[in-house]
Structure 1
């Protein structure tokens, strides 16, 4: 059990990441390759990535270099997921290269005590092997994570819309309510299932919540409590197709018509099914059917919020709206007095 202790200052400073953290997602996805837990949610990704890694001849590097550092254990080195990666993959990889030698040795020792570190791991303190690791991480990201970037971003956008509404309804504590089935918020403590029994006082630093597409089950935090407080938690998954797996394009033909266009426009800032119905001038069941067609075509993401379902645009849906906007707007005539 993990118990995160909040003060009022921590509640004010709690925020949700606006984009996927590339290095956290890499590590979480390496867990997915080693576990059958939640395999149904990643079945298409798993098949496609296995094939892509094999075709690129990356299997040996994966098994020899990456998987041993992120094993199915209770810990992997904190330096693999530096906070700088919130600014992008390049910034994160630069931070890995700049990690102090002693910190790497300390964290490799923790990995060894937690579940066993590879014999070569202490050599990561040397820049040559660390540069090789960074090159492998970049290659893996390009093969396994980058092709699904739009889908992951759409899911995070939907999650942020849900949390934003929760704040409007319940105040700052709304962010911490209903994070998932493993969480329980009882002011001032957020409790969740965790591989070890641990108390985590934030001491006024706030908490960075990082929704993750590839995280499954229990959340993940840094092993070192002195580092910036972060909590990686799993997004809700439903059986869905990933980009490139939408078939012949036939679902898009079902989008023709004023009603679905109105539904799509109404979802631009996030809308419940009832709000979509009012905007399109149809019944709630009809709005639900139209939103389902848009969702099946990859244009909407739907996420339950309390007793409602909140719909937001995917990048593809947003692009379709932009393309439908008037290209040339005539300026109003100048009025002379």
Structure 2
């Protein structure tokens, strides 16, 4: 069990990551190759990624370099997920490359004690070996993460929209109360299932909540409590996928494809909306708005998630792409 202790100052400084964190997604996706748990949620990604890795000859690098460094165990080195990666892949990889030699050796020693480090891991303290690692992380990202970028961003944006509503209605504590079944908020402590028993005292630093597409099961935090506190947590994944009609990508005007009311509903969904809000935006009854949402959801344009007592509708990657294609570009 992990217990995260908040003060009032920590509640004021708790925030949600603005975008997917590329290095956290790299590490948690490496865990997906090491476990069958939750594989149904990533079945398409898993099959496609295995094919791409084999076709590019990256399998050996994956097996001998990346997987041994990021075992699905109690610990993997904190320097692989630096806070700078909130500014993008390049910033994160540069931070990995500039990690002090002493810190690399210390964290490799922890890895060795907890689950066993590969014999060559100590060489990561040297710049040349670390450059090889950084290049491997970039190649892995380009091969198996970037092709799913739109889908990942859409799910993170939907999560942020839902959490923003929780803040407006109930404050930060409303966010902490609804993070998932494995997390329980009992003021002033957030309890979560964890591979080891430990306490994390925020001491006024606040907490960065990082929703992750590839995280499954237990949340993840830094082992080093002196680092800025982070809690990576899993999204709720859909248990099914819908077929996508081919004519939705034809480039025809949105109202012609969907009808004027349904097009209005789709645009209103862009910022995240409940059924009642969609009804008001489109000037229709709530039952009628629900029917339009159902049709858009069946077409693969909208996804609906229940949060507390309401249902929040957000765009899928296809829905977002369709709106972008039908948004005039300013001259």
2:108 & 2:48 partners in 1: Cα distance? 32
1:36 & 1:190 partners in 2: Cα distance? 28
| Structure-1 residue corresponding to 2:307 | 305
Secondary structure at 1:209's aligned position in 2?
Answer: strand
1:213 & 1:70 partners in 2: Cα distance? 17
2:81 & 2:257 partners in 1: Cα distance? 41
- Listed as ranges, the matches of 1:97-246 within 5 Å are 97-241=97-241
2:22 & 2:5 partners in 1: Cα distance? 27
Secondary structure at 2:185's aligned position in 1?
Answer: strand
For residues 327 and 212 of structure 1, do their structure 2 counterparts lie closer, same or farther at Cα, with a shift above 3 Å needed?
A: closer
Greater mean deviation of Cα atoms: 154-163 or 283-292: 283-292
**How many aligned residue pairs are there?**
326
| Structure-2 residue corresponding to 1:249 | 246
1:320 Cα deviation after fit: 3.3
2:143 & 2:249 partners in 1: Cα distance? 28
1:47 & 1:322 partners in 2: Cα distance? 29
| Structure 1 unaligned residues grouped into runs of 5+ | 330-337
Q: Check whether the contact 1:93–1:134 (CA below 8 A) recurs between aligned residues.
A: yes
1:278 Cα deviation after fit: 3.0
| Structure-2 residue corresponding to 1:294 | 296
| Structure 2 unaligned residues grouped into runs of 5+ | 251-255
| 1:12 and 2:9 are equivalent in the alignment | no
Secondary structure at 1:28's aligned position in 2?
Answer: helix
1:123 & 1:328 partners in 2: Cα distance? 52
| Structure-2 residue corresponding to 1:262 | 264
1:327 Cα deviation after fit: 6.4
1:301 Cα deviation after fit: 3.2
For residues 291 and 118 of structure 1, do their structure 2 counterparts lie closer, same or farther at Cα, with a shift above 3 Å needed?
A: same
| Structure-1 residue corresponding to 2:41 | 41
| Structure-2 residue corresponding to 1:335 | none
2:257 & 2:277 partners in 1: Cα distance? 19
1:211 & 1:223 partners in 2: Cα distance? 18
Q: Check whether the contact 2:154–2:316 (CA below 8 A) recurs between aligned residues.
A: yes
1:13 & 1:255 partners in 2: Cα distance? 45
TM-score by length of 2: 0.93
